[in-house]
Chains A and B, each alone.
Chain A
């Protein structure tokens, strides 16, 4: 049944895409006739359903190379702001440890004076130099967050692709396990793990990565399902192309958009989660200089000596906002939001959908799947993802 269902749809679905494309051919036919008429030429074909015309089409038929994905991301002001914000904090956190004793005159853990004294940024609850601790206290957060992101997105992407590509019981098993994990909020799950295994670095990375995985898997599964339903994957199957080659050549390049969005989002959430755990006193342990822990240590004296709290809070805020802006820009670029000259309704819609998929709350996706209400929603988002993924390709080519 599904094969027929599917084939009965494409003509209508592709209508929007085909709009204007065949104008060229139609014009050829005209030229073959007597060449008169059609004053506007191919360049002004319009979207039939009232969508904006596809001017890019005729332009891109030249030799102009399509703009890279990175350039489309960067063409958005939001992305530039995001990269600047992230860059500032990154430089602080990475270079900070190297300048600490030399520049500030104190090591992070040496005593600089009485607790909560004044100074440039003053001293902390134990009389240590706030600036020194601040400069030395960022890299662990970044490292752990990055590792958790890599683990979570990697694991989630592999599971999601496998679920969509293989289908059947494996799909059901992966997604049901994901549902179970999703029912426990990320932070609560992390606390459970820390209780049992202790507040160690690898535990943080592992538990945050693992809790990301089902959320990433959902998105990637939807995106992959959209790609797998495309005929070019079926064509590769028909030509008996090895499965791994289908995955690497047909699937992965076409889900890069959603995947990059996930990287950005999960990085944002990882930073938040690692910092939150440290803030609760259950992440990095004293006397490690760490931003989250600094907030925990100094918040009692917030009114007396606010720098010990404000510096790390600012850094974390700027960092997460920066990464989230980047993620948003990537979502926009991957869904073609920035790529068309005129507002294309369908594309914009796909972009919003993709963004909403991405902007899914830390509490996780849409919960336990299975029911029709859910299946309905999942279907919607998967088709949006498919549209997004398809658009990535389209706009990728059409930008000049």
Chain B
């Protein structure tokens, strides 16, 4: 979303005068829900949904936010039971109920009249929630019929066309006769939104509706949601874990933790002046495009100077400045060579402007002549195709010791294939992968033990990368066994050291993966990659399955490890917001082609390719709240 547009919209938001006569559409009070014969899922939850405003319910996985949202529709998934509280639909919100009514006391039949008509729901994953055997037009029309919207079929037909164009989709009958599988993910989600808005509901509940969409589509969907709710004075409840999205759509924010709302208030206040420690920790874990804030245990690797986080105004420039010196700024340089020059330069820098210059030089230092050295890994004209489909198209890339290269791309861009080619898990490519100038065999089995040792790969999902039947210790010593030369005791000692290094502690050595949380498992997976002291670490989307706070801690870990060991790192991700926080160089991959490549700051400042520009333009960030 463009800045100007964003600002205009924010202003518009402030000046909206609710047209509806009621101030609150739904008031949830003291809502408690639990597992049948089990503990609480929701504990004394309360919030209000107001016409024309969107309340974002923010929480990490397991916080109970979806359960709370569905409770607003008096819909409890199986195995859950109500423990107490009210969900009051205020008077005037629905034609069925003149007076305020507690939805939780309504019968199934009475509730049915309200669901989809007065209170509408937009699901998380349209691929699962749209009915694959019904045409999309019919799926919208049937809501209208069920709620007797319009006087006759023709009026309803017209409404289907209208709502389709409202969400920005074609409204012709050919389009309406399509099946969900004939639409893209973004179109499917907009059908879901059209379905929800079809009956002009008073309340709309959106359950992470942009999960799984690429940033440009997400931007479009968010825009649609925002426009429709304000235009029609709909009270919105937006469930999400993504604070950057919150900044884009929400007027109010409520933060959930373990089934409780720990803090709520207007969006601007919540994002700028968070009171509760959990909110603050959540916010600090969100990466920002400018890299101005600390995230992952230190300042960004390639920050854009002179930009501050909006809530960061408590700190003076001086303290920020000192922080720069004390924390590993040396990340930006090769620990092998003397880092003092840059550090000294940064320390002497008297003014923010000068600092910006130095930082830029520091970030771009790798390509400054004189500091250049042979890269550890070099990819030379890597190509791969399945028949007609080109997966990789002439990739040239270099990884240097102590430096992180971010490989940015959306699903299907070939980024995993590329990273696996480096690790030797994909042997169908042409071109060369060179390690210290030596061409590697494509398949890991044909590489030498030493070559295998030096390049290590961390898998995306920590839930899949460790054998559930083996202890952490057993899984982690596999890399050591390949080289031989170590006895059982030595291997165990090495594994214990690696577990210490990833801040898990050696006590985890006899545990099974099932006893560990996702973040812990990912640390164990990183430990497996570190156990035999590699020089190159390939991290394939290793934070994408994790909550933001866990993501931040894993990134902190990676940065520390890189600093300690001078690792060359290839960090694969779809999240451009992480770029300044972790990477020295940025490579943008689109449909198998490197469309932008260079020092992170340079690429982000002057993106050469339209794709990179579109990414930068659409990525939601916290800063947009102002």
Residues of A within 8 A of B (CB): 1, 3-4, 7-8, 10-12, 14-15, 17-27, 29-30, 32-55, 57, 60-61, 66, 230-232, 234-241, 249-250, 253-254, 341-345, 390, 392-398
List the 8 closest pairs (A to B, CB-CB), nearest first: A397-B514, A393-B468, A33-B277, A8-B411, A50-B77, A21-B517, A10-B461, A253-B469
- Cβ of B238: which chain A residues have Cβ within 8 Å of it? none
- Once A46-B41, A232-B467 are accepted as A-B contacts, the answer to whether A29 and B65 lie under 8 Å apart by CB is no
11 CB contacts below 8 A, A to B, read: A7-B541, A17-B463, A17-B518, A25-B518, A33-B278, A35-B277, A46-B41, A46-B42, A238-B457, A239-B444, A390-B463
Distance of A299 from chain B, by nearest CB (Å)? 49
- B461 near A14 with CB under 8 A, answer yes
Q: Could you tell me the distance between the alpha carbons of A234 and B466 in the complex, rounded to whole angstroms?
A: 10
- B468 near A34 with CB under 8 A, answer no
- B281 near A33 with CB under 8 A, answer yes
- Cβ of B159: which chain A residues have Cβ within 8 Å of it? none
Q: Could you tell me the distance between the alpha carbons of A18 and B424 in the complex, rounded to whole angstroms?
A: 29
At the interface, yes or no: B301 with Cβ under 8 Å from chain A? Answer: no
Q: Could you tell me the distance between the alpha carbons of A7 and B411 in the complex, rounded to whole angstroms?
A: 8
- B461 near A234 with CB under 8 A, answer no
Inter-chain contact count A-B, CB under 8 Å?
A: 277
Q: Could you tell me the distance between the alpha carbons of A181 and B268 in the complex, rounded to whole angstroms?
A: 68
Q: Could you tell me the distance between the alpha carbons of A23 and B546 in the complex, rounded to whole angstroms?
A: 11
Distance of A396 from chain B, by nearest CB (Å)? 7
- B549 near A235 with CB under 8 A, answer no
- B40 near A398 with CB under 8 A, answer no
At the interface, yes or no: B416 with Cβ under 8 Å from chain A? Answer: yes
Q: Could you tell me the distance between the alpha carbons of A53 and B514 in the complex, rounded to whole angstroms?
A: 15
Distance of B196 from chain A, by nearest CB (Å)? 19
- A232 near B62 with CB under 8 A, answer no
Q: Could you tell me the distance between the alpha carbons of A228 and B399 in the complex, rounded to whole angstroms?
A: 31
Q: Could you tell me the distance between the alpha carbons of A52 and B391 in the complex, rounded to whole angstroms?
A: 40
- Cβ of B520: which chain A residues have Cβ within 8 Å of it? 24-25
- Pick from A7, A37, A393: contact of B257, CB under 8 Å: A37
- B425 near A237 with CB under 8 A, answer yes
- A22 near B517 with CB under 8 A, answer yes
- Cβ of B41: which chain A residues have Cβ within 8 Å of it? 44, 46, 53
- A236 near B515 with CB under 8 A, answer no
- Pick from B42, B258, B467, B549: contact of A29, CB under 8 Å: B549
- A239 near B479 with CB under 8 A, answer yes
- A249 near B467 with CB under 8 A, answer yes
Distance of B275 from chain A, by nearest CB (Å)? 11
* Residues of chain B in range 255-282 having any CB-CB distance to chain A below 8 Å: 257-260, 262, 276-278, 280-281
- Nearest chain-A residue to B207 (Cβ)? A49
- Nearest chain-B residue to A254 (Cβ)? B469
- Cβ of B416: which chain A residues have Cβ within 8 Å of it? 3-4, 7
- Pick from A14, A48, A234: contact of B62, CB under 8 Å: A48
At the interface, yes or no: B547 with Cβ under 8 Å from chain A? Answer: yes
- Cβ of B65: which chain A residues have Cβ within 8 Å of it? 48
- Nearest chain-A residue to B523 (Cβ)? A25
- Pick from B36, B258, B550: contact of A39, CB under 8 Å: B258
Distance of A66 from chain B, by nearest CB (Å)? 7
Q: Could you tell me the distance between the alpha carbons of A41 and B260 in the complex, rounded to whole angstroms?
A: 11
- Cβ of A24: which chain B residues have Cβ within 8 Å of it? 517, 519-520
At the interface, yes or no: B356 with Cβ under 8 Å from chain A? Answer: no
- Pick from B60, B426, B512, B541: contact of A3, CB under 8 Å: B426
At the interface, yes or no: B171 with Cβ under 8 Å from chain A? Answer: no
- Nearest chain-B residue to A392 (Cβ)? B468
Q: Could you tell me the distance between the alpha carbons of A66 and B514 in the complex, rounded to whole angstroms?
A: 10
- B36 near A231 with CB under 8 A, answer no
Q: Could you tell me the distance between the alpha carbons of A43 and B464 in the complex, rounded to whole angstroms?
A: 24
* Residues of chain B in range 421-474 having any CB-CB distance to chain A below 8 Å: 423-426, 444-445, 447, 452, 457, 459-461, 463-470
- Cβ of B386: which chain A residues have Cβ within 8 Å of it? 1
- Cβ of B460: which chain A residues have Cβ within 8 Å of it? 7, 10-11, 231
Distance of A292 from chain B, by nearest CB (Å)? 41
- Cβ of A341: which chain B residues have Cβ within 8 Å of it? 35, 37-38
Question: B interface, how many residues as a size bin?
Answer: 35 or more
- Cβ of A40: which chain B residues have Cβ within 8 Å of it? 39-40, 43, 258-260
- A19 near B61 with CB under 8 A, answer yes
Most-contacted residue by chain A among B42, B281, B444, B475 (CB, 10 A): B281
At the interface, yes or no: B420 with Cβ under 8 Å from chain A? Answer: yes
- Once A12-B125, A44-B258 are accepted as A-B contacts, the answer to whether A239 and B541 lie under 8 Å apart by CB is no
Q: Could you tell me the distance between the alpha carbons of A54 and B79 in the complex, rounded to whole angstroms?
A: 13
- Cβ of B518: which chain A residues have Cβ within 8 Å of it? 14, 17-18, 21-22, 25
- Nearest chain-B residue to A389 (Cβ)? B468
- Nearest chain-B residue to A390 (Cβ)? B468
- Pick from B257, B515, B516: contact of A38, CB under 8 Å: B257
- Nearest chain-A residue to B78 (Cβ)? A343
- Once A14-B463, A393-B513 are accepted as A-B contacts, the answer to whether A43 and B39 lie under 8 Å apart by CB is yes
- Once A3-B416, A55-B38, A397-B513 are accepted as A-B contacts, the answer to whether A23 and B278 lie under 8 Å apart by CB is no
- Once A3-B417, A20-B61, A393-B513 are accepted as A-B contacts, the answer to whether A12 and B212 lie under 8 Å apart by CB is yes
- B528 near A235 with CB under 8 A, answer yes
- B545 near A14 with CB under 8 A, answer yes
List 6 additional A-B contacts (Cβ < 8 Å) besides A29-B285, A41-B258, A395-B514. Answer: A4-B412, A14-B464, A44-B41, A49-B124, A51-B79, A342-B37
Most-contacted residue by chain B among A42, A50, A57 (CB, 10 A): A50
- B459 near A234 with CB under 8 A, answer yes
- A20 near B62 with CB under 8 A, answer yes
- A46 near B63 with CB under 8 A, answer yes
- B514 near A396 with CB under 8 A, answer yes
At the interface, yes or no: B217 with Cβ under 8 Å from chain A? Answer: no
- Cβ of A240: which chain B residues have Cβ within 8 Å of it? 444-445, 447, 452, 482
Distance of A33 from chain B, by nearest CB (Å)? 3
Q: Could you tell me the distance between the alpha carbons of A60 and B513 in the complex, rounded to whole angstroms?
A: 11
Complex interface bits, B277-299 against A, C-beta within 8 A gives 1, otherwise 0 = 11011000100000000000000
- A44 near B482 with CB under 8 A, answer no
- A52 near B35 with CB under 8 A, answer yes
- B465 near A25 with CB under 8 A, answer no
Q: Could you tell me the distance between the alpha carbons of A54 and B516 in the complex, rounded to whole angstroms?
A: 12
Distance of B346 from chain A, by nearest CB (Å)? 28
At the interface, yes or no: B187 with Cβ under 8 Å from chain A? Answer: no
- A235 near B514 with CB under 8 A, answer no
- Nearest chain-B residue to A386 (Cβ)? B464
Q: Could you tell me the distance between the alpha carbons of A40 and B262 in the complex, rounded to whole angstroms?
A: 12
At the interface, yes or no: B82 with Cβ under 8 Å from chain A? Answer: no
- Pick from A7, A238, A397: contact of B424, CB under 8 Å: A238
Complex interface bits, B544-576 against A, C-beta within 8 A gives 1, otherwise 0 = 111101100100000000000000000000000
Q: Could you tell me the distance between the alpha carbons of A66 and B471 in the complex, rounded to whole angstroms?
A: 13
- A39 near B43 with CB under 8 A, answer yes
At the interface, yes or no: B414 with Cβ under 8 Å from chain A? Answer: yes
At the interface, yes or no: B64 with Cβ under 8 Å from chain A? Answer: yes
- Pick from A26, A61, A249, A250: contact of B547, CB under 8 Å: A26
- Once A37-B277, A39-B43 are accepted as A-B contacts, the answer to whether A18 and B546 lie under 8 Å apart by CB is yes
- Cβ of B610: which chain A residues have Cβ within 8 Å of it? none
* Residues of chain B in range 152-179 having any CB-CB distance to chain A below 8 Å: none
- Pick from A38, A254, A398: contact of B262, CB under 8 Å: A38
Q: Could you tell me the distance between the alpha carbons of A167 and B470 in the complex, rounded to whole angstroms?
A: 25
- Cβ of A8: which chain B residues have Cβ within 8 Å of it? 411-412
- B43 near A4 with CB under 8 A, answer no
Distance of B429 from chain A, by nearest CB (Å)? 12
- A342 near B513 with CB under 8 A, answer no
- A345 near B77 with CB under 8 A, answer yes
- Pick from A37, A47, A250, A398: contact of B278, CB under 8 Å: A37
- Cβ of A344: which chain B residues have Cβ within 8 Å of it? 79
- Nearest chain-B residue to A12 (Cβ)? B212
- A10 near B514 with CB under 8 A, answer no
- Cβ of A230: which chain B residues have Cβ within 8 Å of it? 464-465, 467
- A19 near B478 with CB under 8 A, answer no
- Cβ of B470: which chain A residues have Cβ within 8 Å of it? 249, 253
- Nearest chain-B residue to A250 (Cβ)? B467
Distance of B286 from chain A, by nearest CB (Å)? 13
